[in-house]
Amino acid sequence: MAKRRLTQRFPFLLPLRRWQRKQCFYLAMRFDRRRYASECDGTLLPHEVFSASQVMVNEHSGYDICYQYNKVHNLKLAAAGIQGLIIRPGETFSFWMRVRDADRYEPYRDGLVLIDGKITGSYGGGLCQLSNLLYWLFLHSPLTVDERHGHASESVPGAEGDQPFGTDATVSEGWCDLKVTNRTSHTYQISITFDDKNICGRLLSDAAPEFTCEIFNRSVTYESRNGQIFQNADVTCRRIDRFTGEAELITLYQNRCRIGYPLPEGTPVAEA
């Protein structure tokens, strides 16, 4: 039996622990010698590197639909600090550096989050959809991903059926961030907008991109271990030169997570 954390044994200590983690979290970034992107510009750069959109309300999640609408509210608050952000050469984008004060004037609402392996409603829940979208944009760019954390567990199928497995990015203030650094000679810009149903993201640049990137799963397998199902997904990039048409396959990483929902009938599952 796994040893319980101190905050699991004494839940009243959890707010203090969160405060402590956040203080250390931002203090470390203050002295890590990075230059964090901080300037937002309403004038968008002329060249689109990649764009994507995602449906915000998953009506088939199996949970109270009010959490989905609360998530939309939370996403719009958080995105306001990212819209138009410029990432110049040598600068680093940090999700929490841009979102940390999003609820200063208007509070977040309770959305769904994964805590100790269980889906529950919690203040500010649902922001992972924004970090997921940003990470998906970054994967299609020359920006260098310095920090990304995949979800350890997936409790419901994603609403988007065309995005490869293992291309998510969870965030938790004080614990998990999403960071990318611009190690190119060009400037990039993030645009996040909304329509009635979707959150829409665009990554822009001051120069036309030299490559297009196709992200896909080279293989996806499932295995059973101690009564739990785990997914292993190889995430691969096919980088195509826009001028010559030459393609290069780049294996990015292997993503592993626990699956907490029934797999489609007939899905092969190996015994670990």
pLDDT digits over 147-198, tens only? 999 999 887 765 555 789 999 999 999 999 999 999 999 999 999 999 999 9
Q: What is the mean pLDDT of residues 35-39?
A: 98
Cite the beta strand spans of the chain per DSSP E.
35-36, 47-55, 86-87, 91-94, 110-115, 118-123, 144-147, 153-154, 179-181, 188-194, 198-205, 211-225, 228-241, 247-259, 270-271
Q: What is the mean pLDDT of residues 18-44?
A: 95
Taking the C-alpha atoms of residue 94 and residue 178, their distance in angstroms, rounded to an integer, is 6
Residue 245 pLDDT exceeds 60: yes
Q: CB neighbours (10 Å) of residue 166?
A: 21
pLDDT digits over 6-24, tens only? 666 777 677 888 889 999 9
Q: Give me the pLDDT at residue 128, please.
A: 95
Planar angle of CA 6, 9, 13, nearest 5 degrees? 60
Q: Give me the pLDDT at residue 18, please.
A: 85
Q: What is the mean pLDDT of residues 98-111?
A: 94
Q: Which of 237, 234, 29 is nearest to 147 (CA)?
A: 29
CA 13 and chain centroid, separation:
28
Q: What is the mean pLDDT of residues 241-254?
A: 96
In the chain, where the domains are located: 16-209
Helix axis angle, 65-79 relative to 128-139, nearest 10°?
Answer: 60
More confident residue, 63 or 145: 145
pLDDT digits over 209-231, tens only? 999 999 999 999 999 999 999 99
Taking the C-alpha atoms of residue 145 and residue 71, their distance in angstroms, rounded to an integer, is 26
Residue 56 pLDDT exceeds 70: yes
Q: Give me the pLDDT at residue 189, please.
A: 98
182, 188 contact by CB (below 8 A): yes
Residue 205 pLDDT exceeds 70: yes
With cut-offs at 50, 70 and 90, classify the pLDDT of residue 259. Answer: very high
